């Protein structure tokens, strides 16, 4: 469903009216388009550490217009603030306030990206304080940005550096239009695993991927994005959605598997289908999910159990089958679709929020298990996304929900799909056990 308000106030008379009346002024976001530059405008890399020098050199290798010092009033496409050697909160002052002088020079849809180390990886209280301070700094700054600009952070664990594959992969994602609706978020690079694709246009070439709940909405968008990125697809949905599933499968030249994922043998059925048709299975996207909303006071066992069974119990069984299989290749990738309801809660969705919070717990606990096979598992947590389901929300409620994030608009199914595709790629191989919110930085809740 289109957001006519955003279209109206993005330019000309509509923008002037919104400004005079003090109304929200969302802009049309810069989203990924094949052949478009990674970022529009110069990239300012600020930081005096060896890590900053190495990162700047790597970005030059991408043919970006890299600056190490700001030129007054030059419009910038991005500011990358490298804070990888913080030892005390006092160390934040100089680099942060220096970067602040360039904030007014950001172009529309610009990017702010911090690169720092995890607080948990140091026993020193002062160092941990400084590193954790970057969290509050970045999330607050992201709420100050305007004109479609976003702020996100990359955290380095002990096994990662500023030019590790996962760091550079996350940098590409955050700089690009693929992260248009990701704002105020952090990704932790926990190891030096992974690799950047040789063909940036087809990062999933040669991979076989399964997408559940693929007949419509976000699932169909994920299928189209993975196909664009070169993956061979197996699309799964319930028999009742067979016609829609076949349409999407034909569109992406994949195969359709009509299957209720709540079946005890669903994991084995998926593995057998993949091996029979393609001889391998590299990527599993757990997208299938349902809602049965009721206030808890009015909740019955049927509604509760249906949501838990489909949204989390089915994923657990399928993952168990995958990890037990002898046929899973090296470096498998699993991505689950969670929800911001599982992080912040939502009225009338105790069952749904419990299931999606369960997905997050599952991902974090499974990461070390799949890591032993060189693989990764992560989750994407969408916020308000423009789908057929949200189109049925009453008009006033829908408009409020659209504006309650830093970008003041709803996301698109493709925004979720872009995040899923990145986490399914080898570029994200050093990232595991993470939950990436695709919510425009919701202003309420956790």
- Does residue 216 contact residue 389 with C-beta atoms inside 8 Å? no
Which CA distances in Å does 277 have to 88, 238, 272, 274, 322? 56, 20, 8, 5, 17
Cα gap 146→413, rounded to integer Å: 23
Cα gap 80→114, rounded to integer Å: 6
CA angle 33, 36, 37 (to 5 degrees): 135
**Catalytic pick among 5, 304, 352, 384:** 352
Bin 199: left if φ > 0, else alpha if -120 < ψ < 50, else beta. Answer: beta
Cα gap 250→341, rounded to integer Å: 33
Kind of pairing, strands 106-117 and 186-189?
A: unpaired
Cα gap 176→39, rounded to integer Å: 6
- 227 catalytically annotated: no
Sign of the torsion formed by the C-alpha atoms of 318, 324, 325 and 330: positive
- State the residue for tokens 């020079």: 105
Catalytic residues: 352
């Amino acid at each position: 469903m289109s957001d006519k308000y955003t279209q109206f106030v993005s330019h000309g008379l509509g923008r002037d009216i919104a400004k005079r009346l003090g109304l929200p002024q969302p802009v049309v976001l810069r989203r990924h388009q094949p052949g478009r530059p990674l970022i529009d405008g110069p990239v300012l890399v600020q930081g005096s550490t060896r890590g900053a020098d190495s990162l700047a050199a790597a970005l030059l290798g991408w043919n970006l217009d890299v600056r190490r010092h700001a030129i007054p009033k030059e419009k910038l496409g991005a500011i990358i603030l490298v804070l990888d050697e913080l030892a005390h909160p006092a160390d934040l002052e100089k680099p942060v306030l220096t970067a602040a002088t360039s904030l007014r020079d950001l172009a529309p849809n610009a990017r702010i990206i911090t690169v720092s180390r995890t607080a948990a990886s140091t026993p020193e209280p002062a160092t941990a304080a400084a590193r954790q301070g970057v969290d509050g700094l970045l999330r607050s700054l992201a709420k100050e940005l305007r004109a479609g600009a976003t702020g996100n952070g990359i955290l380095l664990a002990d096994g990662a550096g500023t030019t590790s594959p996962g760091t550079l992969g996350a940098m590409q994602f955050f700089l690009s239009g693929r992260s248009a609706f990701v704002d105020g978020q952090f990704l932790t690079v926990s190891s030096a695993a992974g690799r950047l694709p040789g063909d940036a246009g087809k990062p999933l070439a040669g991979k076989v991927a399964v997408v559940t709940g693929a007949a419509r909405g976000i699932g169909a968008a994920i299928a189209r994005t993975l196909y664009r990125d070169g993956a061979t697809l197996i699309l799964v949905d319930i028999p009742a959605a067979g016609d829609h599933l076949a349409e999407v499968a034909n569109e992406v030249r994949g195969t359709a598997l009509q299957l209720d994922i709540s079946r005890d043998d669903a994991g084995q059925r998926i593995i057998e289908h993949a091996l029979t048709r393609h001889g391998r299975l590299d990527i599993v996207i757990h997208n299938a999910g349902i809602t049965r909303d009721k206030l808890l006071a009015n909740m019955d066992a049927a509604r509760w159990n249906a949501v838990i069974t489909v949204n989390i119990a089915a994923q657990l069984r399928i993952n168990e089958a995958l990890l037990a299989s002898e046929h899973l290749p090296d470096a498998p990738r699993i991505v689950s679709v969670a929800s911001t309801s599982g992080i912040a809660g939502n009225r009338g969705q105790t069952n749904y929020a419990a299931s999606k919070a369960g997905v997050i717990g599952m991902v974090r606990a499974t990461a070390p298990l799949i890591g032993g096979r060189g693989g990764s598992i992560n989750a994407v947590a969408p916020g308000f996304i423009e789908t057929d389901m949200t189109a049925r929300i009453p008009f006033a409620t829908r408009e409020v929900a659209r504006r309650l994030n830093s970008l003041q608009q709803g996301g698109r199914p493709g925004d979720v799909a872009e995040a899923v595709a990145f986490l399914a790629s080898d570029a994200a191989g050093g990232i595991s056990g993470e939950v990436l919110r695709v919510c425009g930085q919701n202003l309420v809740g956790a």
